[in-house]
Structure 1
Amino acid sequence: MVRYILLAFMTVALTFTTACSSKKKSGDGVAAGDVENDPSVSSQDSIYDPQGSDSGKINGLTTINFEYDRATLNSQAREGLAQNAEWIKANPNVTVQVEGHCDNRGSVEYNLALGERRAKAVKNYLVNLGIDSKRLTIISYGEEKPLVMGDTEEAFQRNRRANFVPLPN
């Protein structure tokens, strides 16, 4: 009888152990320390791609694309953000959610953190352009909401982005 109880207990324990484990993704295995933690503005680390998501705009706001493993803005990205700031100023009854996205290389946790750094860099720049920070929220989707499916460099490039979602106040 004790043997059956022990066997049942071990089966339940094994089931919970395997059900709660997470599978590591294959990929670069990029360490968190490899990314610049400072979302400061740089002249080389991101791109504004007007063709990045078909027209380059979603909901009337320019999508900002980033270089691999970066959360910084170059002059082209700043131009796109200046256009977005004008749109936000012209629509005072709207709050804008900035969504940070990544390609599917790296772990889920790493990409969520990188997506957050991207969204924060965009928000900080918009605040510097005169947008009230209360009108901007951020969220990171990491690799969870790709714009383009696939493991090609083109797909990776289009998925490394910040989108803007207007929300009514």
Structure 2
Amino acid sequence: MRKKYLSASFLMISMIILTGCAQLKPLKKPIEPLETFVPQNLDSESQDVKYVPKIKSFVIILDASASMEEEFTGTVNKGHSKFAVAKDILARMNNTLPEIDINSALVTFGHGFLKPLDKTFVVYELTKHSRGLLEDALNGATVPQGSSPAGNAIKDAKNLLLTSGGQNAVILVSDGEQLIGSPMAKAQDLKEMYGDRVCLYTIFVGNTAEGERELGDLAQEVTCGFSVTADEIASSDDMADFVKKVFLTATQKQDIDSDGDGVYDKDDECPDTPQGAIVDSRGCWVVKGITFEYKKWDIKEEFNSNLSNIVDILQKNPNMYIRIEGHTDNIGSMEYNIDLSQKRAQAVKNYLVDKGINESRVSIAGFGFKKPIAPNDTEEGRALNRRAEIVPIK
């Protein structure tokens, strides 16, 4: 009986001690939310330059191995897992990158110890990039587990870029720890296949000097590219600088030809002409080569090759509607010239309809001599004013 009493007393005392220890154990401080990031607006119309892509495609390689679950001891988002910091850095990059015509792909590596050690995962292949595409992919990224076959992921990037011409980029985000799959040899393969057409950029999100050195050596193995740390590109200005270096070329706005018609925007009086349209010095879509004779509106046979350009554009753009605008010199009354300019516009329309263009897609207008493009006090000027122009209707 005494033994039972002592045993019960011992058990009770032990529970009190354990409970007390549990109460004395400090509670783990909750992790603060990820830092707020306000990206620099590289789309701004107020800037003196316009940014255009300098690469056709980029492939992101994201380290999702077990070591990325460890707490990040750097500055940006300190206390969060390295994986959370890595995804946040990529989100900052994604939100800073302006909406440009470029392709992207995402590859991850590290998918659990029960999977093969060389396992990688192509989250999505080269696709027209959008912020939403990458954002959704990052939000759905796997929980970090397993080994770090970075070399195999670099091989994946090399194969993904086979379908992309021009300049391209590979961006590896990792802590650089225990990388396997011969990443240095795979980086050399990347260089041998593409030369300076593919640059390798590494972003170090880790806690060890060895890991940082590993990523730096990888970046140097390829013809172009560089290595940075997450802390070095965390701010709005620093991330904008990174995005410019990797993705963009700055073009002075006065040297920009947005519609590709050969006339700079600053001189273009008719923006948004369709691709392939023949324009004059003002950037306006004209019936090139046709200057009507005095008091005439007939379409001569030698005009046909120039008019076929309009037919070709309309056939390639079946949803496009146009207006043919007729013009005259200033000889004669306005009433007479309005009628003459309408006849000139109608003659062009008749040609297009005869070539199979639905007449509902073509309207006409006559302006007489209201809109001269040259002085009417010389024969050369008057000849230029006897013209027809094409205006796309949105």
The question of whether the paired residues in 2 share the 8 Å contact of 1:99 and 1:164 is answered with: yes
CA distance in 2, matches of 1:155, 1:113: 21
1:150 to 369, 372, 376: 376
Deviation at 1:165, TM superposition (A): 0.5
What is the aligned residue count? Answer: 116
Q: Which amino acid aligns with 2:356?
A: G
CA distance in 1, matches of 2:334, 2:368: 7
Q: Which amino acid aligns with 2:351?
A: Y
* Percent identity between the two aligned chains: 39
Q: Find the counterpart in structure 2 of residue 93 from structure 1.
A: 319
Q: Find the counterpart in structure 1 of residue 287 from structure 2.
A: 62
CA distance in 1, matches of 2:335, 2:292: 18
Give the match's secondary structure for 2:339.
helix
2:305 to 54, 76, 79: 79
Q: Find the counterpart in structure 1 of residue 215 from structure 2.
A: none
Q: Find the counterpart in structure 2 of residue 130 from structure 1.
A: 356
The question of whether the paired residues in 2 share the 8 Å contact of 1:99 and 1:140 is answered with: yes
Q: Find the counterpart in structure 2 of residue 112 from structure 1.
A: 338
Deviation at 1:67, TM superposition (A): 0.9
- Runs of 4+ with >4 A deviation: none
Give the match's secondary structure for 1:62.
coil
The question of whether the paired residues in 1 share the 8 Å contact of 2:329 and 2:376 is answered with: no
User: What TM-score results when the alignment is normalised by the length of structure 1?
Assistant: 0.63
CA distance in 2, matches of 1:92, 1:65: 28
Q: Which amino acid aligns with 1:94?
A: M
CA distance in 2, matches of 1:143, 1:126: 24
Deviation at 1:150, TM superposition (A): 3.3
Q: Which amino acid aligns with 1:62?
A: V
CA distance in 2, matches of 1:70, 1:76: 15
Q: Does 1:103 align with 2:329?
A: yes
Flag the 1:146–1:73 CA change in 2: closer, same or farther, 3 A.
Answer: same
The question of whether the paired residues in 2 share the 8 Å contact of 1:52 and 1:65 is answered with: no
Give the match's secondary structure for 2:373.
coil
CA distance in 1, matches of 2:279, 2:361: 25
- Spell out, residue by residue over 1:128-147, the C-alpha distance to the aligned partner (whole angstroms, 9 max, x if none): 00100000000000110111
Map 1:9-28; keep pairs closer than 5 Å.
none
Flag the 1:153–1:52 CA change in 2: closer, same or farther, 3 A.
Answer: farther
CA distance in 2, matches of 1:103, 1:75: 23
Flag the 1:53–1:152 CA change in 2: closer, same or farther, 3 A.
Answer: farther
CA distance in 2, matches of 1:84, 1:161: 15
Deviation at 1:152, TM superposition (A): 0.3
Q: Which amino acid aligns with 1:73?
A: I
Deviation at 1:149, TM superposition (A): 2.4
CA distance in 2, matches of 1:145, 1:71: 18
Q: Which amino acid aligns with 1:89?
A: Q
Give the match's secondary structure for 2:367.
strand
The question of whether the paired residues in 2 share the 8 Å contact of 1:65 and 1:77 is answered with: no
Q: Whose RCO is larger (CA < 8 A, sep 6+)?
A: 1
Give the match's secondary structure for 1:147.
coil
Deviation at 1:52, TM superposition (A): 9.4
CA distance in 1, matches of 2:357, 2:373: 27
Give the match's secondary structure for 2:324.
strand
Deviation at 1:126, TM superposition (A): 0.5
- Higher-Rg structure is 2
Flag the 1:163–1:68 CA change in 2: closer, same or farther, 3 A.
Answer: same
Measured on the aligned residues, the alpha-carbon RMSD in Å equals 2.1
Q: Which amino acid aligns with 1:120?
A: Q
Structure 2: 5+ residue stretches without partners: 1-277
Q: Find the counterpart in structure 2 of residue 13 from structure 1.
A: none
Q: Which amino acid aligns with 2:355?
A: L
